Amino acid sequence: MRIPVICSNNDCHLVFPGDLDMVNAINVTFIDCASGKCPQCGSPGRILDGTYNAFENNIFATLRKTNDIVLLRRIAISLKKDLTKNKSPQKIKNKLDQQFPKLKPVWDLIPDTRQDAYNVINIILAIIMMLMTAAQCSKKEKENIINQTFQNYFFQNPSNQRNTPFDSRIEGTDISTKPEKI
């Protein structure tokens, strides 16, 4: 199984199979290793720093935090650029599939309608920002960040709250708890 490599060109960042093949290997660590040339732009590729294990046709990697944050930052930058350029959801998904193919199941969650897609992308960006912030904190600080993010998103943002039905005859009267007349 070939080890995935990321293009070192800051404008490309394509993930592609590298030159190194791993078969039934345990605890192989790569730090600052180059591998192959990017099929898209020709720049050198690099293996993400971390410890890799290979079993049958699968590769498992434990990446170092710095590279995880770098990868998340690249995804966030790509998404922000596409939102700013008002790209269609299909173009955004195609680009993400090409640049970050291992996360295809996440990209498949993005709906096809522009408004819904942009809402999902903003949620993905919020999660990425939370993860990037939490990666640099203690366990207690991480719990606080997660709880605060949840509180901010679901309880302080009125657009995310369920609308309560009102009786149009009496302004502001909540009819959800009134008994129905038969």
* Number of H-type helices and E-type strands within the chain: 5, 7
Q: What's the Cα-to-Cα distance from 150 to each of 12, 13, 50, rounded to whole Å? A: 33, 31, 31
pTM, two decimal places: 0.45
pLDDT grade, residue 163 (50/70/90)?
A: very low
φ, ψ of residue 102 to 5 degrees: the values are -70, -15
Q: Which two tokens stand for residue 70?
A: 């770098």
Query: Which residue type sits at 81?
Result: K
Distance (Å, whole) CA 85 – CA 77: 12
- Taking only the tens place, the pLDDT of each residue in 111-159 is 999 999 998 898 888 888 877 776 666 666 666 766 666 666 555 555 5
Q: What's the Cα-to-Cα distance from 5 to each of 29, 53, 55, 57, 91, rounded to whole Å? A: 14, 15, 18, 17, 23
Q: What is residue 75's DSSP assignment?
A: H
